[in-house]
Amino acid sequence: MLDDIKKLGNIFFIISFLLFLFLGYLIFAPFIGIITVSILLVVIFYPIHQKISKIVKNSVLNSLISTFIILTTLLLPFSLILFFLTKEIIELYPLIADYITNPNLIVEKLKESPYLYKLYLKLQEFYLNKLDNNFHDSIINYLKQFTAIMFNFAKTFLSNIILIFIAIFIMAITIFFLFKDGYKLYNLVYSIIPLEKEEKDYLFSNSYAAVQAVILGSVFVAIAQAIASLIGFLVAGVEYSLVLTFLTFFAAFIPFGGASLVWVPVAIYLIVSKGLLVGILFTLYGTFVISTVDNIIRPIVVGTKIDMHPMIMFFAIIGGLSTFGFLGIFIAPVIVALIDAFIMLYKKRYGIENE
């Protein structure tokens, strides 16, 4: 009888616990994105916070300093860049829409550059005339959908600009309290995981190293290449430089080509439109600065940490964008890193060796 009551009590406890966890999820669901990004930023900047804590002993003050560093170096500059990027997309949208609806405008534009117009005529002679209308219409429809998505993103961003700054304010408060009291959350999560202490230490240490390696080695390197590209675009006088920088950021995750998928066509455009000297100078800048950033920064920021294969990162970023929206850029690599940590723990726990 007592055993039956105990079993019923266990069932009641588990059902009640799961129910309240679900209700808790509903309460915090609107803020999951903010909380996730805040945790990631705290994890990345925690070594800096530890150094600050050694100098400034007061937990409130050192947490404020660390939060201020994140705000000034990442959040506010990123928001300003996103704002100006949005304006460029809105300015670019009518131009692209005109070219899509009236292809003759593209031909007129090409006539301004004899080299491009000759190339167009050759392509038209050998390839374009052989394509059926359905294929051409499909390309036009895809371009219309893409430009519509970009325009809607820009319009939504501008219309929610106040909400975005409120979100940054909430994120700043979250980051502050994670710096100040984050160890309590860590101890709570650590205590409730039903694994041996050695396994928990292995899981947490490898997860921490993997998250830092993935974020620093992929996302931050992509940001560095995008910044280098932006500088080059501005100096060369390239129009819509922020849109191209945005494309460079995403291209940096592609294993084959990377950032060169954007800057090489720009270099060709500069050779045709602004002369051989400008184009060659930009090509040299792209080769020895933009594309070399990856080889210089990645070993420094990743070091001996666990790194992820670029192909896995590419699919993770694309899938993350599809599933989580823009925050997927940061969330997806972390999920992949945690999966990798759990696989390593599984192999360690059951004595599976690499062949």
Nearest-angstrom CA–CA distance, 253 and 316: 10
* Residue 184 vs residue 7, higher pLDDT: 184
pLDDT tens readout for residues 103-145: 566 656 666 666 666 666 666 665 555 555 554 555 556 556 6
Query: What is the rounded average pLDDT of the residues 160-184?
Result: 84
Of 295 and 145, which is predicted with more confidence? 295
pTM exceeds 0.85 for this model: no
> What is the distance between the alpha carbons of residues 222 and 241, in angstroms, rounded to a whole number?
16
Instruction: Say how far apart CA 139 and CA 136 lie, in whole Å.
Output: 5
pLDDT at 22 over 70: yes
Among the listed residues 247, 288, 289, 293, the one whose alpha carbon sits nearest the alpha carbon of residue 266: 247
pLDDT value for 202: 80
Average pLDDT over residues 200-222: 76
Give the model's pLDDT for residue 176.
93
313 touches 336 (CB < 8 A): yes
150 pLDDT above the threshold of 70: no
- Residue 81, pLDDT > 60, answer yes
Average pLDDT rounded to a whole number, residues 233-257: 82
Mean pLDDT over residues 327-337, rounded? 76
pLDDT at 177 over 90: yes
pLDDT of residue 260: 87
Residue 135: the pLDDT is 47
Euclidean distance between CA atoms 347 and 351, whole angstroms: 6
Q: Which residue has the tokens 């050779």?
A: 271
Give start and end residues of each alpha helix (H) in 74-132. 76-101, 104-111, 114-126
pLDDT averaged over every residue in the chain: 77
Return the top range by mean pLDDT from 73-77, 155-159, 205-209: 205-209
Work out the pLDDT band at 334, boundaries 50, 70, 90: confident
Q: Which of 63-67, 178-182, 322-326, 335-339 has the lowest mean pLDDT?
A: 322-326
**Three-class DSSP category at 148:** helix
Q: Which residue has the higher pLDDT, 219 or 191?
A: 191
pLDDT given for residue 144 in this prediction:
61
Integer Cα distance of 209 and 133 in angstroms: 53
d(C-alpha 161, C-alpha 82), whole Å = 10
Beta strand residue intervals within the chain, DSSP E: none
Mean pLDDT of the region 194-211:
80
Specify whether the CB–CB gap between 280 and 271 falls below 8 A.
yes
Return the pLDDT at 196. 83
Q: Measured between alpha carbons, how far is 332 from 59 in angstroms, rounded to an integer?
A: 32
